[in-house]
Structure 1
């Protein structure tokens, strides 16, 4: 009998970042800039997703309908991505100096001037294929 758990998704995957013009981003030494994230098969991701869904349901209950401003959507996405982020690799986000961990990540993801980063991470994190044993870069 085949053991299906041998196909379990990896816990993390690394997104190599592209600039707003789709060119790869590198640090001063020529190493790719990247972000390591927890995937959909982890409790970290599942808790973040449940929190996001609960917030959405609370808004619907309070307002009776779903109407979100662009700022609210950006904030919710930034919170979700930050909760699922393991590390920023090869770069810093100086405007969030003095913050650490989730709060530091949240501030970076909420910055619309580098919104192309949040868009890439959101697309990557929601694709199970990026967390398969053969494709995960972790």
Structure 2
């Protein structure tokens, strides 16, 4: 009997341990690793967020008469919006002074002094690696 490849489906969500800008684990004052839980590329939430960002990019490109530079001006804004939509939780940390979770996610990802978190999570959430670990058990 052939192997059932569906046993290797990617997980819909994963927890990503955060890293400092120097690639070391990002920890709290007690040494506990901080993380985020996110929807992955195989999830409906991720696909919807990606489609919405792509629609916005296409609209900006069209409004700019096809000039790519105008579309690229909103790259950070697009990253923040995408990550805010696919993030489920911050684990072991928060971003103070915000309302609901989505606002907190957006504020944290938009903070340029924490850009290393935004860049790390953005890279991880666009990679299948975190979502295929242990997928045989799913």
* Fold agreement, TM-score > 0.5: yes
The whole-number CA distance in structure 1 between the counterparts of 2:79 and 2:16 is 17
Query: What SS does the corresponding residue of 2:14 show, helix, strand or coil?
Result: strand
Query: Corresponding residue for 2:31?
Result: 30
Alignment correspondent of 1:111: 111
Q: Distance in 1 between matches of 2:8 and 2:71?
A: 40
CA RMSD of aligned residues (A): 1.7
Distance 2:36 2:113 in 1: 18
Distance in 2 (alpha carbons) for counterparts of 1:2 and 1:101: 41
TM-score (normalised: structure 2): 0.88
Counterpart in 2 of 1:121? 121
Flag the 1:22–1:14 CA change in 2: closer, same or farther, 3 A.
same
Residue equivalent to 1:15: 16
1:41, 1:83 → 2: CA distance? 15
- Secondary structure of the corresponding residue to residue 23 of structure 1: coil
Runs of 4 or more, structure 1, over 6 Å off, are none
List gaps (5 residues or longer) in structure 2.
none
> What SS does structure 1 have at the residue aligned with 2:94?
coil
Superposition TM-score, scaled by structure 1 size: 0.88
In the alignment, is residue 130 of structure 1 matched against residue 127 of structure 2?
no
Aligned residue pairs, count: 133
